[in-house]
Amino acid sequence: MAALKRFFNLLRLDKKDVFQLFFYAIFAGLLSLSLPLGIQAIINFIQAGRISASWIVLIVMVVIGVALIGILSLMQLRITENLQQKIFVRASFDFASRFPKIKFEALYNNYPPELANRFFDTISIQKGTSKLLLDFSAALLQIVFGIILLSLYHPYFIIFGILLVFLLYFIFKFSYRSGLETSLKESHFKYKVASWLQELARNNFSFRSDLNYDFALEKNNTLVTDYLGYREKHFRIIQRQFSQLIIFKMIITASLLSIGGYLVIQQKMNIGQFVAAEIIILLVINSVEKIILGLETFYDVLTSVEKIGSITDLTLEEHMSQDYDYCFTNIQLEIENLKFRFPDSKNDVLKTISMKISQGEKIYLDGENGSGKTTLIRILSGLLQPTSGVFFINDDSFRKINLQQYRSQIGTILNGETPFEGTIRENITFNDPSISNEDLKWVIEAMQLGEVIKSLPQGLDTKIFPEGKQLTSSNAQKILLARSIIHKPKVLFYENPTDHMDDAVARDIIEFLCAPNQQWTVIVSSKNQLWKTKAIRHIIMQNGKVVSDIKKT
């Protein structure tokens, strides 16, 4: 979708407010152009050398016109403020609702936190749209009404209108595409710089030595140099457009003064009309200048809309209707001839895997790095869809299953998952009102979080920093484990869930999770060999294949 089309679609959401804004702009434009007519009449009275009631009335009318224009501008500001607020709210909810639903394949080779930075383009859209709607609408209407009014004074002024239209067409025709392209490139490297600064902040300890510090500055210098290069290219386009405007203003000003003076000398126009015409001409030229100067804002808005569009275009997971209900009393998983390949790969990561997993089994996935354990867990948990083969849940094809309902019956801990910013209670329960205090107490005791929570001044309501920075890695994992079992799911999918814990603590938690009386299925991949001793099924993977599947008797 073209950037301009995206922008129009954005405005279409609030077309009622936009139309109202244009209505006020038209009214204000007519009032502003009626002022020169009032001034013309006042000058004519002054030339006559007499003071009359009509002269005073005209002065009052002009002052009232100025006040009305100010009031209309204030009303336009109120509308644009509402638009800015709506744009921000929509963008925030659009991002918040999309990120958890974006397909894994769409996020492949992207860093989600860096993509989330695109949200800051909303500010550019807010401010830029407000400026465009206010300034561009007023300027365009002043140009149109001004040309019409000038043509009533004398047909010669029609030539002025034609030249003006040609100028605007020429500037947009030959500068729009290059201006937008350089603006997009500039924005691309702006985010590259921001992304690198984010990396420096996230790994600040790694860059404290002089050698690493120099590397950080050197890379920043390279990215900033690229940004400045495209910024300069974009500025040259804006500079060229403004240079064309200066030349145009010189030609138009000289021509119109000459024409106006000639018409006055030939008595085809009086002094009042000449002054009014010059005022209108100045208004029109200033309006053209406002449009040209506003082109940079125009490019910034289109670039920001395109950047946000790159997020909203990402493919979302498809969900079946909520009417299609399942009763998961037990969950049996089965895959047949399953294969999986990443989007940019020519080789299968998983190769013709078939297996059946019954409710309550405790399974340990073993194998070297790159053997396919993580990929298999993510397919079984519904994060990835197989490239080929079939995945059945209770004899129903995976592609028919409502993912939301399936995920409500499973608990997961995937590599890289950390606590989010919020209280400990929120991190465990997500403020689910259906979770009782008894269930919360049960999970805290099971995961040995009681002593930790008691030592905190606000207990469960203690705030956690992003990624659980003030917690030990062991306690962070305990919170994730508590979160995964709080709803007493049917299946647990774990990737290295206890690898940061002491052996004694890990042993107690593993024994709890794998106890025979626990009805949930456990499928775990971990370097901690305690899982292997407690599992009743040991699956070994190698090069994307299952090479051994042994059940304990």
Residue in 454, 458, 455, 446 with CA at minimum distance from that of residue 486: 446
d(CA 153, CA 104) in angstroms, rounded, equals 66
At position 238, the amino acid (one-letter code) is: I
Beta strand 396-397 pairing with 388-393? antiparallel
CA 175, 181, 185: angle at the middle one, nearest 5? 140
CA distance 26 to 15: 16
Q: Output the CA–CA distances (angstroms, integers) from residue 509 to 377, 448, 531, in the order listed.
A: 21, 8, 10
Task: State which H helix or E strand residue 420 sits in.
Answer: none
pLDDT at 53: 66
Q: What is the pLDDT of residue 260?
A: 73
Distance CA 485, CA 278 (A): 78
What pLDDT score was predicted for residue 510?
95
Q: How far apart are CA 119 and CA 142, in angstroms?
A: 35
Q: Which tokens sit at 114?
A: 């860096």
Question: Measured in Å, how far apart are the chain's first and last C-alpha atoms?
Answer: 60
The β-bridge partners of 492 are: 411, 522
The average confidence (pLDDT) of the chain is 84
**CA 180 to CA 124: how far, in whole Å?**
15
Instruction: Assign 551 to helix, strand or coil.
Output: strand
Residue 255 class from Cβ within 10 Å (0-12 exposed, 13-18 middle, 19+ buried)? middle
Q: How far apart are CA 162 and CA 155, in angstroms?
A: 12
Alpha carbons 260 and 242: distance in angstroms, whole number = 26
Q: What are the Cα distances from residue 270, in Å, to 54, 56, 277, 311?
A: 19, 21, 11, 61
Four-point Cα dihedral 115, 116, 120, 125, nearest 10: 70
Domain boundaries, the chain: 3-312, 333-551
- Please report the pLDDT score of residue 533 as a whole number: 92
Encoding tokens for residue 429? Answer: 């329960």
- What length does the chain have? 553
In tens, the pLDDT along 188-224 reads 898 889 889 988 988 888 898 888 999 999 999 999 9
Tokens of 441: 């107490």
Burial class, 484, CB count within 10 angstroms (exposed 0-12 / middle 13-18 / buried 19+)? buried
Give residue-wise pLDDT tens across range 48-100. Answer: 665 666 666 666 777 777 777 778 888 888 888 888 899 899 889 988 888 88
Q: Is 491 exposed, middle or buried (0-12, 13-18, 19+ CB in 10 A)?
A: buried
Q: What is the mean pLDDT of each run of 10 residues along the chain (553 residues)?
A: 78 85 76 65 64 66 76 84 90 89 82 86 88 80 77 74 76 79 89 89 86 92 93 88 79 75 77 72 78 83 88 79 58 92 87 92 93 93 88 74 82 91 93 93 94 89 86 93 95 94 93 93 93 94 92 79
Neighbours of 252 (CB within 10 A): 18
CATH topology of domain 3-312: ABC transporter transmembrane region fold (1.20.1560)
Q: Closest Cα partner for 437 from 312, 225, 41, 428?
A: 428
CB 125 within 8 A of CB 87: yes
Site of tokens 């290059």? 178
User: What would the CATH number be for the domain defined by 333-551?
Assistant: 3.40.50.300
Q: What are phi and psi of 107, to 5 degrees?
A: -90, -5
Helix (H) or strand (E) holding 373: helix 373-380
Of 410, 440, 447, residue with least CA distance to 425: 440
Q: What is the pLDDT of residue 490?
A: 94
What pLDDT shows up at residue 278? Answer: 73
The radius of gyration of the chain's CA atoms, rounded to the nearest angstrom, is 34
